Structure 1
Amino acid sequence: MPLGLGRRKKASPLMEEEDGGERSALSVSQGGGMPGSSLSPVPPGLPPPAPALRPRLVFHAQLAHGSPTGRIEGFSNVKELYGKIAEAFHITAGDVMFCTLNTHRLDMEKLLGGQIGLEDFIFAHIRGQKKELEVYKSEDSLGLTITDNGAGYAFIKRIKEGSVIHRMQLISVGDMIEAINGKNLIGSRHFEVAKILKELPRGRNFTLKLCEPLKAFGMYIYVCVGI
């Protein structure tokens, strides 16, 4: 789908999932999505402008763990964006887990969703260390909010304080869920992953295979000192 107009929509949260993943189509607005600053739409009844007359949209991006700044252009959906990021930084599109806007931090309120502003700076979070954990489901709710990136990766958006997962202190916001009990979940939507988690029997162990976003060296030092 081509880039178009749109306003940010905040989805209502659910217990174990959130219909707030990055969308497959992207719309563009000026001024970071501020009201009244959208690109002018084509008047009704008129054909869209010829490709040569359309504005050239160029965005700046970095890898969230640290990199030079790259120029990204020529995309109209999330998968194409990941492909352009991969080209700019000489990685594969499958390395990109998700993107945040205007911050390199794991701020889930800054996730790239269905809209991007012309002045927004893109930070791409890429695959880092893998981990496999055994979790005991002592309660019906694990305390997770799951979202996805619109390109086949479901990851943890929020962890409820005091929940089963929070008490483990081994699983973090931003961790991608690769498999549950050996079932590969790459390519699954957030609601599919949430359904599997909900249906796991209480009072039993299950295995989670996760991949965390790549961290800068200094971030690893901080984590080690805090233990």
Structure 2
Amino acid sequence: MDHDLLWDGPRPATRGPKPTLTLDRVVAAGIAIADAEGLGAVAMHRVAAELGVTKMSLYRYVPGKAELVALMVEQAVGAPPALAPGAWRAALTTWARALLARYLAHPWALEATVGPRPVGPVELGWMEAALGALAGTPLAGPERLDAVAVLAGHVRALVQQSAAADRPEAALSAAIAAPLARHGDRFPQLLAALAETAAAGAGDQAFEFGLALLLDGLAARIPA
């Protein structure tokens, strides 16, 4: 895998015909395919066809699919937001909400960011930003890393649910409506919770509720 391409950018061509594309165009084409059809639809020959070039000519810009997908993640997710110094809770709230928005815009990035793979500076920049928000706290290094991992996991779980169904809580309610109509006496707590949620119009708040719980837990570990 060509990590230099991910970290240093393309090397200037020293011989051969003048390039007709740019690496950014190649990556953007891959993102467009993934946004429309999912990561599984991204292949070198497919990207080449979208750009009107041959598959072999595409290898002048990117050595393979692994590097292409890594570059797609870097471009699609983008740099983390600027975080205000000093207030760790506000900073992590901004961080988590921004990460949620980026993943919701490109749900395929969830699949692209698991397992052994090339990791670029933008992706590591998100971790650096979150760790920086906790740098002034007495949390030890392992605790800071775990806190960031748990927050990222919460974001990813909610994006995965959203990708599977628009308004996941409403979709769940619709899916279980028929069974509950027949067997509601077996699930009184579920019926009561659903009824209260509908009456309050407070559905689909799992992300903010979970984020608040996680940050409350961190606050309990950080002495005032």
Identify the structure with the greater helix proportion. Answer: 2
Max radius of gyration: which structure?
A: 2
Q: TM-score surpassing 0.5?
A: no
Higher relative contact order, structure no. (Cα contacts within 8 Å, ≥ 6 residues apart): 1
TM category (shorter chain) comes to under 0.3
How does the TM-score come out when normalised to structure 1?
Answer: 0.25
TM-score, normalised by the number of residues in structure 2: 0.26
User: Could you say which structure has the higher strand fraction?
Assistant: 1
